[in-house]
Amino acid sequence: MEKEFLNGMQCDPNTGICEVPGAGSKINQPEIGEVVDMQGLTDKQLATNQKKPVKLLYFTDPICSSCWGIDPQLRKLKNEYGQYITIEYRMGGLLKSWDSYGGSDVNGPASVAAHWDEASKQYNMPIDGSVWLEDPLASSYPPSVAFKAAQMQETEKAIIFLRRIKEKVFIEKKNITKWEFLKQAALEAGLNTEQFETDYNGLAKDLFNKDLAMAREWGVRGFPTIFFLDEEGSQLKVYGSKPYEVYEQTLLKLLSVPVVKNISQHSLDIFNQFNSATLQEYALFYNLSESDALIELEKLAAEKIIEKSTSRAGQIWHRNK
């Protein structure tokens, strides 16, 4: 598959990377697991004073299909090594506006729609590209600012909020630049919606701009980009969507303490940690084949423990409350 140039977004499902053209183009990007020299960067202190041995500094974007594609890997990593890691989310700014980019590389929303349909097959995650044909997003900046507003209230609720807006855009075909869908996701995440709106229209914009500046400073030119930082200042990087073993081995390189890996056995463990799961997420979480994972999910649904939602993009299961 040839790389598609999507109006400021260069997304290649084969490499698992969504790039912003020109961003960090002069910076040599390290290979997976290569030590990154961050001397002189103002945010290097992020690697110190950590409550857990390793911090994952994760540069992402709400409409990054490759980032949606690694949700299964990150959930499994959090489950198996959660006692050793924290994940800090930073917004990178994948698409500023349709008017900000020009030239022959710009193909319009239809190109994004086609890419998302291909990405769905590549990552085996439900993605419906038709939102780009029916109600195309003008920018990824509004949902990014909204995430910063959510972070201002509570980190864990902000992560739930980010997941919900990704489900809305990738599966439910909702234009998450619109306030009605952002507010709905905030309510579903348990956020104070009045405070959320105040922060969204205020300080959250400044915090988002700081994330953009930090991404430039760290040489981030595409998503997902994850820096693994330990307490001693050692840093490794994984760039793009990679198999789970890549993230696991990168983490283990930085862990000097004895490691006890958590292996989930109970079929509801994933739903006790997360509000929803796709087939790929469930299968990877439990090291199951897709067919076996589907049997387990259908059994839980038949018992009314979880509820299945089916769309053009595919299926997703939610824990019944």
Q: What is the pLDDT of residues 272-316, one digit of tens each?
A: 999 999 999 999 999 999 999 999 999 999 999 999 999 999 999
Residue-level pLDDT at 22: 57
- Place 29 in a pLDDT band, splitting at 50, 70 and 90: very low
Q: What pTM, to 2 d.p., does this model score?
A: 0.87
Kindly state the percentage of the chain with pLDDT values over 70: 82
Region 256-273: mean pLDDT is 95
pLDDT at 214 over 70: yes
pLDDT at 196 over 70: yes
Residue-level pLDDT at 271: 97
pLDDT at 19 over 80: no
Kindly state the percentage of the chain with pLDDT values over 90: 77
Average pLDDT, the chain: 87
CA-to-CA distance for 231 and 235, rounded, in angstroms?
A: 10
Listed in sequence order, the residues at least 6 apart from 244 whose beta carbon sits closer than 8 Å to its beta carbon are 72, 73, 76, 77, 284
Q: What is the DSSP string of 228-259?
A: EEETTS-EEEEES---HHHHHHHHHHH--S--
Region 128-153: mean pLDDT is 97
CATH 1.10.10 corresponds to the domain 269-316: yes
pLDDT at 23 over 70: no
Residue-level pLDDT at 132: 96
Region 135-161: mean pLDDT is 97
Region 108-135: mean pLDDT is 93
Residue-level pLDDT at 215: 97
Residue-level pLDDT at 12: 64
Identify the DSSP state of 140: S
Q: What is the DSSP string of 142-202?
A: HHHHHHHHHHHH-HHHHHHHHHHHHHHHHTS---TTSHHHHHHHHHHTT--HHHHHHHHTT
Tokens, residue 321: 């409350």
Q: Is residue 262 a contact partner of residue 306, using CB atoms and an 8 Å limit?
A: no
- Place 5 in a pLDDT band, splitting at 50, 70 and 90: very low
- Place 104 in a pLDDT band, splitting at 50, 70 and 90: very low
Pairing mode of beta strands 225-230, 276-278: unpaired
- Place 105 in a pLDDT band, splitting at 50, 70 and 90: very low
pLDDT at 56 over 70: yes
Residue-level pLDDT at 147: 98
Where do the structural domains in the chain lie, given as residue ranges? 4-140+210-226, 269-316
**Which segment of 43-57, 127-141, 205-219 scores lowest on mean pLDDT?**
43-57
- Place 13 in a pLDDT band, splitting at 50, 70 and 90: low
Question: Which is more confident, 48 or 260?
Answer: 260
